[in-house]
Structure 1
Amino acid sequence: MDFRHQIASTDAVAGVAADALLVVTHGEAVDASLDPAIASVLKDALAQGDFQFKAGRTLYVHRPAGLKAARLVVAAAANASVKAFKSAVGSGLAQLKGGGAKHVAVLIGNAGEVTEQHAEAATAAAADAVYQYRRTKPSANSAPALAKLTLLCGKPEARSVQRGLLRGAAVAAGAELARELANLPGNHCTPTYLGEQAKKLGKGHGLKVEVLERKDLEKLGMGSFLAVSQGSVQPPKFIVARYDGAARSQAPIVLVGKGITFDTGGISIKPSAEMDEMKYDMGGAASVFGTLRAVAELKPKLNLVCLIPTCENMPGGRAIKPGDVVTSMSGQTIEILNTDAKGRLILCDALTYAERFKPAVVVDVATLTGACVIALGHHNSGLFTADDALADEMLAASRASLDPLWRMPLDDEYDEVLKSKFADMANVGPRAGGAITAAMFLKRFTGKYRWAHVDIAGTAWKSGAAKGATGRPVALLTHFVLSQAG
């Protein structure tokens, strides 16, 4: 999708050449600075009861008098915040979806500066509005899609708006990649497929990519990771991708993404209802792919390493059983009380592998626990870290990216429930505080670097009529990585 900016004041947009003009407004009265043609339409709609200044309300006018654009959409925002602006842009674009508009110009209809943040928010809203999964559905809607968005701004804001559009376009492309990978069914998106896609991404963006095979994992001693994969005929893969944008002496940021391409629960098998959604259990891996793409396009001066352990979790004659004890790459032994708690079993070996890069910081991302969904629902992802400064950095990235994150506790007392009589630790504790004890398990493998864990079980995809991957938290991770460039 093409994102541009154009210098145009709110009172002089009649001649803007676009298929549609989307005006975002807030407040309780028509903005006096609006172009007279738009103001006239809006006042009439208000008088006739066809529009209200309430969040989510929209007005569509075809062939509006006095405007070059063939379509006018007015969308009400809840307030003047960037978050409200993004939501209003999404509502406005929904009015145009399925129509003939390929180029939309967006205007903030209240006097005020158009910022870099507005620009990025507009790209995110547009990318979300036009995304449609087609890979295994040839009959998907083939109506002309929005191909170009132009954000109207004043001359003083043009440079910062362009920065926001560039960053937003990169994040949007990364989020689209993440959504596409996650939406693929498990018979298409296998560990082997993810390895192939990593190499393709590396070739297209000049990245160093290595895909380790089972024999490599055996040599490394990744007994925990291999244990999860042994019930499946699909071979496990361990993807190592590097973006080198700074001197080799600069410690890299490391992102680790959980890549369970399908999760049955193993011998501790899941209920059949909604098990099809367990193709999304590689949402962490998908978001790391997307972040890597965004970073590679933006080319910041930093080093980034992405680690993706990927396999299936299947029942079978060779599958791990409750009560089995395995040895992780760190040398610590793990009693597997529940084979459905497998994400932590592949992540722990990846976290140990991360030590070799002497990282500045490590962030793992995973659809790890249903308990996090119970705790936070589907709006906030869960943040776990014992490092207060790192938590502040992650939360700042969350606010900047409009990708909500909520910090959860990691008190030492939660670690007690992971004790085992037969190994150094158990892979699960009791039901209570399950998201926290899962994070405490991972924490045991991160003592040599700064570390944060992000649980996206409630935010990586949607169920029901809106079923599909969200692309989260690509925006959060990209903003965090860019913030580390100083």
Structure 2
Amino acid sequence: MEFSIKSGSPEKQRCGCVVVGVFEQRQLSLAAELLDNAAAGALSDILRRGDMDGKAGTTLLVHNLPGSLCERVLLVGLGKAKAFHAKAYVAAIRLAVKTLTDTGCSDAALFLTEIPVAPHDTTWRIRQAASNALQASYRFDRFKSNKKPVALRKLTLIVSRRGELAAAEKGLHEGIAIGEGCSFTRDLANLPGNICHPGYLAETARALAEEYQLECNILEQDAMAELGMHALLAVARGSAQAPRLIVLHYRGGKKNAPPVVLVGKGITFDSGGISLKPGADMDEMKYDMSGAASVLGALKAAAKMALPINLTVIIPAAENMPDGNATRPGDIVTSLSGQTIEILNTDAEGRLILCDALTYAERFKPAAVIDVATLTGACVVALGHFATGLFSSKPALARALLRAGEECDDRAWQLPLWDDYQDLLKSPFADLANIGGRWGGAITAACFLARFTEKYAWAHLDIAGTAWNSGKDKGATGRPVPLLTHYLMHYSESEA
């Protein structure tokens, strides 16, 4: 989709459609009021007839409005004016773009971006509009025989005054980067396991490195064994697909500045191993590499924005399958850190690949490490599909991530990481077990990871409930790319 920024009156726009807002009780936004004045009250007459009240989630398409140069006017319900906040704004943008796409409109002028959204500024409004427009128009049709052409090709985002154009251009650049990062993540996560395996992830990382001039290192199985990454290798033993450890470096900051490290869980398919999962919905276990996809998407967004930071991405990639060589429940392995782990459940494999990757991250002397993983069904039970689970050893890092999520409506919720839970990971035969029992599963999984992160500031994002949707709208969401990218943007400002 092509974007542009403009300042102008709605009735003077020569385009396929002009999009304006209507609040509840038929209260016209400023742009809608200007259209109504040019049409000698025709919009007000339509609303008074009861075709639309302005409730959130509603739209009305008006053809050939008098006094207007555009072909159509799309009215978007905004809800109550006093309750119009960031979430309502994002919902209105997404609804508008989806409706435009469904109507077959090829170009449109979006006047919703003029509407104030306290406490946010013009840059935020345009950033959110561009990012969410790309997400609302996203489709994954790579394997469809008959691909429908993309209808909406050009979207003009309107600001009230010419003095806002510079701030809007900044927001547009950021919004496109975030939106494209999300789309990259969704494309990767939506791929089936027979195509997206550890080797495919490695090649994708190499291509990204070439596109943005990054340093890329891929560790093969023998190199990992020599290092002592036996927890990671244990997960891959039952698969015909060899594991990889993927490392990417983006160096946009000062030469010796410590990097932020993002670690993404890259289980390209999770059968559960010997602790086999139930067959129902097992196809969705292709999404178990969504952590890897999201850190690559965040890296792409950061590189596209040329953020002045140093950023390292680490992806432990493996496939968890059962065969005669697969790891058994009760096996004991030695991790890269030297700690021994009793594997009581082979379906708790994500923490095994992550613990070696988190230990590997120490060598980069990081400013902070954030791991992202579809780690536990228990997190979905706790938080549903609305919030990402957040755990952190550093309150300041947790606050920064929570703030970033709130700013872009990609929210997280912090859960405890108390030492009380560590006792649940005790093993009579090894330093720790890989599961902690039935209760507090998301917390004990995070506590397991915490054992390997004591040498740096660390946070864990459990995205099991937010990385993809099930049902009729099944597909990857692109979360938490917006959260991660906003965190990196704020981090870059603090480092400037």
One-letter identity of the residue aligned with 1:94? K
Other-structure match for 1:198: 205
Distance 1:51 1:355, change over 3 A: same
One-letter identity of the residue aligned with 1:350? A
Q: Which one of the candidate residues 120, 127, 151 is aligned to 1:145?
A: 151
Other-structure match for 1:16: 13
Q: Please list the CA deviations of residues 203-234 of structure 1 after superposition, one character each: whole Å capped at 9, or x if unmatched.
A: 01111111111011111110000000010000
Q: What stretches of structure 2 of length at least 5 have no aligned partner?
A: none
- Mean CA deviation greater in 362-371 or 26-35: 26-35
The two structures, once aligned, show a CA RMSD in angstroms of 1.5
Q: Which one of the candidate residues 153, 159, 163 is aligned to 1:156?
A: 163
Equivalent pair of 2:20/2:31 in contact (CA under 8 Å): no
Determine the C-alpha separation between the residues in 2 that align with 1:109 and 1:361.
35
Determine the C-alpha separation between the residues in 2 that align with 1:357 and 1:236.
22
Q: Please list the CA deviations of residues 417-436 of structure 1 after superposition, one character each: whole Å capped at 9, or x if unmatched.
A: 00000100000011110000
Q: TM-score, normalised by structure 2?
A: 0.94
Matches within 5 A, 1:398-477: 398-477=405-484
Determine the C-alpha separation between the residues in 2 that align with 1:134 and 1:144.
11
Pairing 1:68–2:69 present: yes
Equivalent pair of 1:403/1:472 in contact (CA under 8 Å): yes
Determine the C-alpha separation between the residues in 1 that align with 2:316 and 2:294.
13
Matches within 5 A, 1:279-428: 279-428=286-435
Q: Please list the CA deviations of residues 388-435 of structure 1 after superposition, one character each: whole Å capped at 9, or x if unmatched.
A: 111111111111221111111111101110000010000001111000
Pairing 1:262–2:262 present: no
Equivalent position SS for 1:124: helix
Equivalent pair of 2:124/2:171 in contact (CA under 8 Å): yes
Task: State the percentage of identical aligned residues.
Answer: 48
Determine the C-alpha separation between the residues in 2 that align with 1:432 and 1:484.
35
Q: Which one of the candidate residues 85, 103, 106 is aligned to 1:81?
A: 85
User: Once the 2 structures are TM-superposed, how far is the Cα of residue 99 of structure 1 from its aligned partner?
Assistant: 3.3
Equivalent pair of 1:25/1:110 in contact (CA under 8 Å): no
Equivalent pair of 1:352/1:446 in contact (CA under 8 Å): yes
Matches within 5 A, 1:171-210: 171-210=178-217
Equivalent pair of 2:21/2:32 in contact (CA under 8 Å): no
Determine the C-alpha separation between the residues in 1 that align with 2:72 and 2:458.
50
One-letter identity of the residue aligned with 1:421? P
Equivalent pair of 2:20/2:29 in contact (CA under 8 Å): no
One-letter identity of the residue aligned with 1:364? D
Distance 1:126 1:41, change over 3 A: farther
One-letter identity of the residue aligned with 1:290? G
Q: TM-score, normalised by structure 1?
A: 0.96
Equivalent pair of 2:98/2:137 in contact (CA under 8 Å): no
Q: What stretches of structure 1 of length at least 5 have no aligned partner?
A: none
Determine the C-alpha separation between the residues in 2 that align with 1:144 and 1:453.
37
User: Once the 2 structures are TM-superposed, how far is the Cα of residue 33 of structure 1 from its aligned partner?
Assistant: 6.1
User: Once the 2 structures are TM-superposed, how far is the Cα of residue 35 of structure 1 from its aligned partner?
Assistant: 4.7
Q: Please list the CA deviations of residues 348-396 of structure 1 after superposition, one character each: whole Å capped at 9, or x if unmatched.
A: 0000000000000000000000000000000100100121111111111
Distance 1:109 1:257, change over 3 A: closer
Distance 1:27 1:112, change over 3 A: farther
Q: Please list the CA deviations of residues 19-59 of structure 1 after superposition, one character each: whole Å capped at 9, or x if unmatched.
A: 22111343542246645434634312321111012111111
One-letter identity of the residue aligned with 2:220? E
What is the number of equivalent residue pairs in this alignment? 482
